[in-house]
């Protein structure tokens, strides 16, 4: 697998230079996603535009797009779903910066100067994942299977839930 992209990136530096990164990565290279999908085949297309807004906040305009196979929570058979997500991440490293973030931004905490590009892609995909994917009614093979199977859902990392909560606040 050839990757021309660096594995770690410095968002603040990229924002200062107004850089743009795009490419694709195999689903099999994203470990947290691998736990959730039924088959880790296929590619994720991504693009990130780094910028600084009028309030001097570093932002990342993120786009991810892929097709994944997950387990239907009704019949427990695989189902293919398209995942596409556009978001604007507002970078912060302390509470004062967090307070200044525009409401339309997704808060993105930066603890260290560099982050893993793969993790950034993975975070975006995880946030776009449906909590309980289901076939359309007529495609579900076994409707008697209990709806309450949460095996796959439990494996959603807590960080995702935390992030979702933050967004609502
Ligand atoms: Zn189903």
- In angstroms, what is the span from residue 81 Cα to ligand 1's centroid? 12
- For residue 3, being part of any structural domain is answered with no
| 18: region left, alpha or beta (phi > 0 left; psi from -120 to 50 alpha) | left
pLDDT tens digits for range 32-41: 988 888 888 8
- For residue 2, being part of any structural domain is answered with no
State the DSSP code for 80.
Answer: E
pLDDT band at 164 (very low <50, low <70, confident <90, very high): low
Domain residues for 16?
8-168
Domain count, the chain: 1
Between 28 and 64, name the one with better pLDDT. Answer: 64
- In angstroms, what is the span from residue 12 Cα to ligand 1's centroid? 44
- In angstroms, what is the span from residue 141 Cα to ligand 1's centroid? 6
Pair 57, 102: CB distance under 8 Å: yes
Please give the full DSSP string across 85-110, using - where no structure is assigned: EEEEEEEESSHHHHHHS-TTSEEEE-
Q: Would you state the structure tokens that stand for residue 118, as one six-digit string?
A: 């793969």
- For residue 67, being part of any structural domain is answered with yes
- For residue 1, being part of any structural domain is answered with no
- In angstroms, what is the span from residue 84 Cα to ligand 1's centroid? 21
Q: Which residues contact 123 (CB under 8 A, 6 or more apart)?
A: 159, 160, 163
Pair 90, 57: CB distance under 8 Å: yes
């Amino acid at each position: 697998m050839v990757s021309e992209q660096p594995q770690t990136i410095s968002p603040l530096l990229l924002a200062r230079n107004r850089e743009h990164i795009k490419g694709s990565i195999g689903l099999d290279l994203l470990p947290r996603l691998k736990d959730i999908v039924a088959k880790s085949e296929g590619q994720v297309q991504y693009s990130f535009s780094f910028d600084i807004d009028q309030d001097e906040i570093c932002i990342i305009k993120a786009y991810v797009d892929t097709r994944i196979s997950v387990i239907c929570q009704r019949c427990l058979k695989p189902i293919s779903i398209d995942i596409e997500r556009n978001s604007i991440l507002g970078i912060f490293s302390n509470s004062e910066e967090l307070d200044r973030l525009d409401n339309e931004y997704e808060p993105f905490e930066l603890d260290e100067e560099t982050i893993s590009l793969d993790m950034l892609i993975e975070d975006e995909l995880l946030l776009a994942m449906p909590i309980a994917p289901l076939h359309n009614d007529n495609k579900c093979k076994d409707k008697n299977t209990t709806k309450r199977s949460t095996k796959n859902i439990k494996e959603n990392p807590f960080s995702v839930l935390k992030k979702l909560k933050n967004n609502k606040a």
